[in-house]
Chain A
Amino acid sequence: MISCEKAEIICNKSQYQEASFTERLQLKFHLFICKNCCKYSEKNSKLTSLCDKAKLQGLSSKEKEQMKQKLHSKG
Chain B
Amino acid sequence: MPEIKYKVPKVNHMRSVNVNSRNFGDHETNMAENSLQPENWVDAYADYLFNYAISRISDAEIAKDLVQETFLAGLKSAKNYKGDAAERTWLIAILKRKVIDHYRKSNSKKGKAEVKINYSAQTDAEGDWLEEQIADPFSNFEHDDLENEELGNAIQSCIAKLPAKQAQVFTMKTIQGISTEDICNELDINPSNLWVMIHRARTALMGCLNETWF
Contacts and interface: CB of A to CB of B under 8 A. Distances in A.
Interface of A: 8-9, 12-13, 15-16, 18, 43-44, 46-47, 50-51, 53-61, 63-64, 67-68, 70-71, 74-75
B156 A56 contact: yes
A13 B174 contact: no
A43 B214 CA distance: 8
A18 B201 CA distance: 17
Contacts of A50: 151, 155, 209, 213
Main secondary structure, interface of A, reads helix
A29 to B, nearest CB: 20
A26 to B, nearest CB: 15
Contacts of B68: 67, 70
Contact of B38 (A16, A58, A71): A71
Interface residues of B, number: 40
A59 B51 CA distance: 9
A68 B75 CA distance: 12
B42 A68 contact: yes
A71 B41 contact: yes
Contacts of A43: 206, 214
Interface of B: 38, 41-43, 46-47, 50-51, 54, 60, 64, 67-68, 71-72, 75, 148, 151-152, 155-156, 168, 171-176, 180, 186, 195-196, 198-199, 202, 205-206, 209, 213-214
Given A53-B151, A58-B175, A68-B42, A9 B75 contact: no
A75 B75 contact: yes
A61 B175 CA distance: 12
Contacts of B152: 54-56
B144 to A, nearest CB: 9
A43 B205 CA distance: 10
A65 B168 CA distance: 14
Given A47-B206, A59-B46, A71-B75, A9 B196 contact: yes
Given A46-B214, A71-B75, A58 B176 contact: yes
A46 B210 CA distance: 11
B162 to A, nearest CB: 13
A67 B71 contact: yes
Contacts of B50: 57-59
Contacts of B72: 70-71, 74
Contact of B175 (A15, A18, A51): A51
B199 A12 contact: yes
B176 A74 contact: no
